[in-house]
Amino acid sequence: AAKAAGRNRFHLFDEDLRGRLDMRRDSERDLSQALAEGAPEVWFQPIRGPDGRTLAGLEALVRWHHPRHGWVPPNEIVAAAATMGLAESLLRLVLERSCAMMLDLRARGHGAVRVAMNVSPREMAQVPVDEIVLDRLRALGLPAAAFEIEITEETALDIAAVGDRLAALSGAGVRVALDDFGAGYSSLSSLRQFRTSRIKIDRALVTGLGGSDDKRGMVQAVLGLGRSLGLEVVAEGVETAEDLAALQALGCPFLQGYHLGRPMPADAILAALPASAPRAA
Ligand code: C2E
Ligand code: MG
Ligand code: MG
Ligand code: MG
């Protein structure tokens, strides 16, 4: 019986692995057509002010529902695009939806809500992100300061090319946020190299910080770093009322997480906007 169970377990693992390989192969194969049809969606997650209510920004997050495999995780979409030479198409799709959101926000009197888009270091190295982004913002009459690029660090990266592109973007007024700070390879020197104006604390340090002196100490240290360097700090992964209370006690200026709003389709975000403040005469 033990042997049978063992074999069964191996079989399950095997099936699971095969399923994932199938999914990767099919995603790569089908992504090109999906992008051509505009099938991938872009959802937006609220970034809130220190009160936990005010809408300060929106982070664009790609979503793709594969007809056979269901929702494909964003990191796999990005990886598949890079493998298939589709990085620029994907970037343009997310950028276009992000700009559409900025136009909708402005039309509703919420132009101060900043829209942030993720760009992987690999995309940043391979695609002229600075030219593409600045062209689109200019063409649509959108202010660079209302747009933000979120970038994560990666080892074995062409830091020079990435640094130049980020310098061009930030020189034009686009904000740069260093994502997933405190996880992986984030270093203090890259804050300067990447022209960062914002730090996003990785949710591994945030979720459950109320019950962890270690996490709370590290979040407090990043908040101090932000204050010393004049950088805005966002806490990611605020999952509970306890997380929120602990972050508010520490004076964290920007907050994001399931407790404060899940990623939602653009329509749902726009429908949930508070009535805009009347314009001053
Ligand atoms: P990220 O940029 O760090 O985005 C935050 C991720 O955490 C999102 O996952 C979001 O749904 C999730 N999240 C938000 N609040 C909470 C929370 O309270 N608890 C937990 N457990 N998770 C939370 P998602 O959408 O699956 O995206 C994963 C990663 O994929 C992103 O991490 C980003 O690095 C990448 N990504 C997403 N969209 C794009 C894109 O359009 N382009 C590129 N290059 N990368 C993208
Ligand atoms: Mg991000
Ligand atoms: Mg992050
Ligand atoms: Mg991440």
In the three-class reduction of DSSP (H, G, I as helix; E, B as strand; rest coil), residue 78 is classed as helix
* Ligand 1 contact, 264 CB (< 6 A): no
**What local confidence, expressed as pLDDT, does residue 203 receive?**
96
What is the pLDDT averaged over residues 127-139?
97
Atom of ligand 1 nearest to the CA of 152: 34
Pairing of strands 198-201, 232-235: parallel
Alpha carbons 147 and 95: distance in angstroms, whole number: 10
Alpha carbons 203 and 177: distance in angstroms, whole number: 15
Alpha carbons 40 and 82: distance in angstroms, whole number: 15
Alpha carbons 133 and 92: distance in angstroms, whole number: 9
Q: For residue range 62-85, what is the model confidence (pLDDT) as tens digits?
A: 999 998 889 999 999 999 999 999
Rounded to the nearest angstrom, the distance between the alpha carbon of 180 and the centre of ligand 4 is 6
The rounded mean pLDDT for the chain is 90
Contact 48, 255 (CB under 8 A): yes
What is the pLDDT averaged over residues 144-163?
82
Rounded to the nearest angstrom, the distance between the alpha carbon of 55 and the centre of ligand 4 is 21
* Ligand 1 contact, 202 CB (< 6 A): no
* Weakest-pLDDT range from 44-58, 143-157, 219-233: 143-157
* Ligand 1 contact, 262 CB (< 6 A): no
* Ligand 1 contact, 92 CB (< 6 A): no
Distance in Å from the first CA to the final CA of the chain: 80
What are the tokens at 167? 């310098």
* Ligand 1 contact, 153 CB (< 6 A): no
Alpha carbons 265 and 252: distance in angstroms, whole number: 27
Those residues whose C-beta lies under 8 Å from the C-beta of residue 250, and which sit 6 or more positions away, are 216, 219, 220, 223
Alpha carbons 185 and 1: distance in angstroms, whole number: 46
Closest CA to ligand 1's atom 15: 257
Rounded to the nearest angstrom, the distance between the alpha carbon of 60 and the centre of ligand 1 is 9
* Ligand 1 contact, 94 CB (< 6 A): yes
**What local confidence, expressed as pLDDT, does residue 163 receive?**
87
